[in-house]
């Protein structure tokens, strides 16, 4: 991950699609990228990927929001991981596109609330291009369609460099969400793009639209690169 030292331009960003990788591996990779971004060794970077089925517990998560029997979770191979992102409980599974930006907010606006709103804006714009009218809910971070959540958002920031990001439900069947109260919300359901549209989507096409909208919202020139350049 070596690169030109003291890289600070907000207009430069590299993106990678990593396929399906374990949550722990993705977390270790993010931590490495955050250190490199803080040091100025790499430009802003976005990881796109999918996770095998996993329940993640954010810094605000409560055990009572796991409502599925532990034996059932174990039989499903559904691990529970405690992580350092903000927010409560959520689920990752194949068919859900996860976006982890490693951005230096010192080159942008030093405003965490604005950063979260901008991530939501990227998703809202992307969904609109697939004829899905989405919106924010003032009480909850993330993106909603009607009364159903379609995208979870949770971040962490170290020295103004971001980690974690958002998870957009595209083709995942949502079955694992029945084991939890997603984001700790008891009376709301989740949905996906394929559920709303009645057909599966090409995830790469959705990712490319996210990259374009991310470029516009964050005023960045985002280049999609081969994962081999990450040196994993």
Q: Which of 77, 89, 75, 96 is nearest to 20 (CA)?
A: 96
Catalytic: 183? yes
Contact status, residue 161 vs residue 102, Cβ threshold 8 Å: yes
How far apart, in Å, do the first and last CA atoms of the chain sit? Answer: 9
- Give phi and psi for 35, each to the nearest 5: -60, -40
- Name the token pair of 129: 């291009």
Catalytic annotation, pick one of 13, 99, 151, 183 = 183
* Opening angle at CA 116, ends 92 and 30, nearest 5: 55
The secondary structure element, H or E, covering residue 180 is none
Strand 140-145 with 148-158, pairing: antiparallel
Ordered DSSP codes for 66-122: B-S-HHHHHHTT-EEEE-SSSSSEEEE-TTEEEEEEE-BGGGS---HHHHHHHHHHH
How far is C-alpha 171 from the geometric centre of its chain's CA atoms? 15
Under 8 Å between Cβ of 85 and 164:
yes
* 8 Å CB contact between 162 and 115: yes
- Active-site residue numbers? 183
């Amino acid at each position: 991950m070596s690169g030109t030292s003291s890289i600070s331009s907000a207009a430069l960003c590299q993106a990678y699609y990593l396929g399906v990788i374990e949550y722990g591996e993705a977390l270790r990779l993010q931590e490495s990228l955050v250190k490199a971004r803080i040091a100025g060794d790499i430009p802003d970077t976005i990881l796109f990927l999918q996770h095998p089925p996993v329940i993640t517990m954010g810094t605000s998560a409560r055990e009572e929001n796991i409502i599925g029997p532990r034996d059932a979770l174990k039989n499903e191979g559904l691990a529970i991981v405690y992580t350092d992102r903000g927010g409560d409980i959520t689920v990752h599974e194949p068919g859900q596109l996860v976006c982890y930006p490693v951005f230096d907010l010192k080159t942008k606006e030093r405003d965490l609330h604005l950063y979260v709103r901008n991530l939501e804006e990227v998703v809202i714009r992307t969904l609109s291009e697939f004829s899905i009218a989405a919106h924010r809910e003032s009480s909850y971070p993330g993106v909603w369609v009607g009364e159903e959540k379609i995208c979870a958002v949770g971040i962490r920031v170290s020295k103004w460099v971001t980690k974690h990001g958002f998870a957009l439900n595209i083709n995942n069947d949502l079955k694992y969400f029945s084991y939890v109260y997603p984001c700790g919300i008891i009376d709301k359901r989740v949905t996906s793009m394929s559920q709303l549209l009645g057909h599966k989507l090409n995830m790469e096409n959705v990712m490319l639209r996210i990259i374009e909208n991310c470029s516009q919202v964050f005023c960045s020139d985002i280049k999609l690169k081969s994962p081999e350049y990450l040196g994993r």
